Structure 1
Amino acid sequence: MGAWFTRGAEELVLATIRSVQRRYHIDPDRIFLTGMSNGGIGAWVIGMHQAPLFAGIAPMASGLDEVLMPFLANLRTTPVYMIHGAKDQVMPVELSRTIARELDAIGYAYVYREHQREHPMAGGHYFPREELPDLVAWFNAQRRNPVPTTVTVVREASHFQPFGWMRIDATDAIAAFSEDLVSKRDELTRKKRYARLDASVVAPNRIEVETGLVQRYTLFLNGQLVDFSKPVTIVTNKQVSFEGMVAPTVETLLRQARLRQDARQLFPAQLSIQVLKQVP
């Protein structure tokens, strides 16, 4: 697999994770995604689209196309560890420096290691073994939070699956990624026209949501997020969009368990919210 930034690569990675989980006893809160060079691009792209699956991502000697930068917002609760050689002649180090600046701009924590080493054959484009102890120590220190109380998701039209306890269901006209984003992109992609949803549990049984280009979304709820014995209030774009009781059901629990195959993300209730048109 050379093009790790494609939809086929994403599906392969997800299928591999599911296959390993079926065969071995894997802690779902200790799954990491890493890669170098083209594989590092895949770690970024797949990690951003599937962030709730991972305890952390560690891209090495890689970078991101400028049109993908908005998806870094999806890593709000997913730790990042970057490694890049200052003398990398294949993937210029400025690629990782640009990502670091973007993460700084949105206020996300990360680790960035920039080394000066060169390999006799690979030059600056390689992973020095001297970096391994710190990377392993970082892996050992991370553990996924499967149900964070604050979530951000940025989506284009080919990724409408659940993202943690949220799912964007319908949007205004937004970009739709092709199989090969690098060589094929529509005008909406070039304009970075993506849907965005930010949700936070701000008080007991009160969830506040801010949306951009979203027409309808779904919240998946469990006892870690709300108390089902009391009314729940959902505020969307500063307007109350739901207030009342939410009933958990076995049917919803089983359907979500079958869909997610993740014992740490079980949701017995879901609530679909229609977003009111905002008056300019």
Structure 2
Amino acid sequence: LFLSTTDAKTESQVLERLKSAQVSNATVKALLRERIKTHTGPVGLQNNLQIKHNGKDHPYSLYIPETTKPNEKIPLLIVLHGLGSSGANTLPVWVKRLNNEFAVLCPNYPMGAWWARPAEDMVLHLIEQLKEQYNLDNDRVFLAGLSNGAIGAYMIGMFNPDRFAGLLPIAGSITPRYMHFLVNLRNTPIYMVQGAHDPFFPVQLSRRVHKILYDMKYPVTYREHGEKGQAHGGHFLPQSEVPDMVEWIRKQKRRHNPQVVRMTREGNHMGAIHWARLVEGKNLALLELPGPESPNPIKKDGKIATLFATRKSPNHFEVMGQHVIEYDLFFNTETVDFEKPITVTTQRIQVQGNKLAPGEKKISYKNKVTQDLSVLLYGYKKFRDPTRLYDGRVSILLESTLVHRDSSEERANKKPVFSSRSQSVPYQTQPLL
């Protein structure tokens, strides 16, 4: 009932009944992980499908391998088309490249403007919808795109890196303004293909992206080819690049509970990445590239918040941040011992001359954390991902704010500088993740 309802009151009532019955997190996690899921949707090539999002119908094309067994998990590759193309044109090419081994999803979006927030939301919504019809392998979901689609692969992937096992931007790049967000790809492998003679996307942009990722020691593969196509110069994916790329895809699998989580955030993207979430930042920018649908409010002169979180040892976490007011850390039995206190330290990243340097390290939290069914069930309901289950959280408030986000007395009476609290916030008024 909790997973199927959209009513907050019903959710709260179900949680209260579960807690009254003393149902443990371990019991619920076992049930979620043992749920046998079978495929209910058709297989083979499917065109002219539609998803309704924001009141509009968006077409998409889909391939599900005909040899798929009823309970078999299927890896999924999402491919974003470029300007002038479509999902229907894109799908058969990629099905053949992957030797009919993967499910392939090719959505449509006007002008291939995948960088727009409505397009991002639509793609994520479509993935979740397909999970209801097919037993998709959550640890082998990939996002690729060519040309404008490559921009989308970067943008959607950078802002939601823990959703994907890998990113494949082909014949496209991002501008320096958005290269700040490459920091988010700490645990998400990326395979870049760029033509040296691409007349639409200067190769210098892709080289710069590669250098940034390489210098940070991130999992990046960069392939630069010198071929020239008849129609678009070097703006395409040569057949000679396909075998190595497909072999790379086959080897990738999403990481669980990474030791280090790094993120840069602007105000339109404040979701969790793995087990850390930046809840509120200081005077954050609101970035939105224009697209065919109305954008969210834009604020280009704001700040970009940074949060680096490291699990130094079991039950010991160190966090560094800049322009951060509040952040959350999420824990499960795979990463901490709930019978022992958890220590969280925080350092502000400060500007010293022309360099950034960590400030004084302070203890932000040192106490036990109680496992909470609210954290577990709201988190699962958000992503429907049995490999992404958290039992408890700690919220760290670094400074006071006049922003009022919910009705709880604890949030309404915030104390300045490094006050912290456990997960006692009423979750029905503040949905998780």
TM-score, reference length from structure 2: 0.61
Answer 1 or 2: higher relative contact order, Cα 8 Å, separation at least 6: 1
**d(CA) in 1 for partners of 2:119, 2:318:** 35
Q: Is the 8 A contact 2:147 2:172 kept in 1?
A: yes
CA RMSD after TM alignment? 1.7
Alignment of 1:230-245 (within 5 A): 230-237=340-347, 238-245=361-368
**d(CA) in 2 for partners of 1:166, 1:130:** 40
Q: 1:8 aligns with which of 101, 107, 118?
A: 118
Alignment of 1:20-169 (within 5 A): 20-169=130-279
Deviation at 1:185, TM superposition (A): 5.5
With over 3 angstroms needed to count, the CA separation of the structure-2 counterparts of 1:61 and 1:264, relative to structure 1, is same
**d(CA) in 2 for partners of 1:186, 1:275:** 24
**d(CA) in 2 for partners of 1:131, 1:11:** 30
Q: Is the 8 A contact 1:8 1:179 kept in 2?
A: no
Figure out how many residues of one structure are paired with residues of the other and give that number. 274
Q: Is the 8 A contact 2:371 2:392 kept in 1?
A: yes
- Equivalent position amino acid for 1:188 in 2: D
- Equivalent position amino acid for 1:95 in 2: L
| SS at structure 1 position matched to 2:137 | coil
Q: 2:398 aligns with which of 264, 270, 275?
A: 275
Do residues 188 (structure 1) and 188 (structure 2) align? no
Q: Is the 8 A contact 1:168 1:216 kept in 2?
A: yes
C-alpha deviations, 1:179-219, integer Å up to 9, x for none? 528x9953426xxx201111011012100000110011111
Map of 2:375 onto structure 1: 252
C-alpha deviations, 1:24-57, integer Å up to 9, x for none? 1111010011101000000001100000111110
Larger Rg: 2
Q: Is the 8 A contact 2:188 2:219 kept in 1?
A: no
**d(CA) in 1 for partners of 2:136, 2:286:** 34
TM-score, reference length from structure 1: 0.93
**d(CA) in 2 for partners of 1:81, 1:185:** 31
Q: Is the 8 A contact 1:7 1:180 kept in 2?
A: no
C-alpha deviations, 1:51-93, integer Å up to 9, x for none? 0111110101111111101100000010010001111111121
| SS at structure 1 position matched to 2:278 | strand
**d(CA) in 2 for partners of 1:123, 1:64:** 20
**d(CA) in 1 for partners of 2:157, 2:120:** 9
Q: Which runs of 5+ in 2 are unaligned?
A: 1-108, 348-360, 400-416, 419-433
Q: Is the 8 A contact 2:329 2:393 kept in 1?
A: yes
Q: Which runs of 5+ in 1 are unaligned?
A: none
| SS at structure 1 position matched to 2:138 | coil
Percent identity between the two aligned chains:
37
Deviation at 1:122, TM superposition (A): 2.5
Runs of 4+ deviating beyond 4 Å: none
Map of 2:314 onto structure 1: 204
C-alpha deviations, 1:143-177, integer Å up to 9, x for none? 10132111001100111122211111111111112
C-alpha deviations, 1:91-146, integer Å up to 9, x for none? 12112111112213323231100111122222211111111110010001111013
